[in-house]
Amino acid sequence: MVQHPDGLGTGTVAGVLRERPPMDRELPAFDPAGAPAAPGPLFVDWLLGALAARVPDPQVGTVSTVDADGLPDARMLVLRDVDAEGAGWLFAADADSPKGRQLAARPAAAWTFYWPQLGRQVRIRGRVETAAPEVCAAEFLTRSPAARAAALSGPQSAPIDSLAGYDAELAAALARLAEDPSLVAPGHTVYTLRATAVEFWQGDRARRHVRLRYDRPGPDAGWTAALLRP
């Protein structure tokens, strides 16, 4: 039993969740007949719509990769840019992190966005390309000193002994940056998820969800689009 979040005594978790069906609100309509021939422009349109609707952090989504044992792994990452023409979604990460190692071994990923205020999901799948070192370095230098110091302090996801020890490493990295602002973390990498499938899902209060999936056999091929049963 759990305390009811609305102060209505106690209940089961399942009971509390049953009282709160997802997407139980007015959501925008999506007419796939008016959709563009390629997914990039539609994604940008939906992303700008999410920004206009004040969705918090709409540029953050879940990037899924696969480890050496074939086990899926997933984490939130910030979208840095969209190559709408080439259907590329860009993120930046440490090549010396679990996701970086997974991508080095299997350069493929899925990226899932959900914008609750609009009831919209976008699922992107494809191969992952790594940018040239000078592009990665230039992107690194656009970051705040705090973000650069964190990346310079050591490999992401490595265990630390204590937060106090980490604070000391951060302070040392900030001091090194102050002396040499051109420092670049060696593993900092810009990745592009080059889509071969992109699905747009518009939720509906009455459960008449609309799904439109774009597919192409390879990065140089044209797109086809199909409606899917929700």
Binding site for ligand FMN (CB under 6 A): 57, 60, 73, 75-78, 91, 93, 97-99, 156-157
Say how many Å lie between the first and final Cα of the chain, rounded: 34
Beta carbon nearer to ligand FMN, 91 or 140: 91
CB of 99 to ligand FMN, least distance (A): 4
CB of 117 to ligand FMN, least distance (A): 17
| Token output for 201 | 């899902």
Beta carbon nearer to ligand FMN, 106 or 213: 106
CB of 158 to ligand FMN, least distance (A): 9
What b-and-e string marks burial along 106-143, b requiring 16 or more CB atoms within 10 Å of the CB?
ebbbbbbbbbbebbbbbbbbbebebbeeeebbebbeee
Q: Is 98 helix (H, G, I), strand (E, B) or coil?
A: helix
Beta carbon nearer to ligand FMN, 123 or 211: 123
Rounded Cα gap, residues 17 and 1, in angstroms: 13
Beta carbon nearer to ligand FMN, 8 or 60: 60
CB of 65 to ligand FMN, least distance (A): 8
Rounded Cα gap, residues 27 and 5, in angstroms: 25
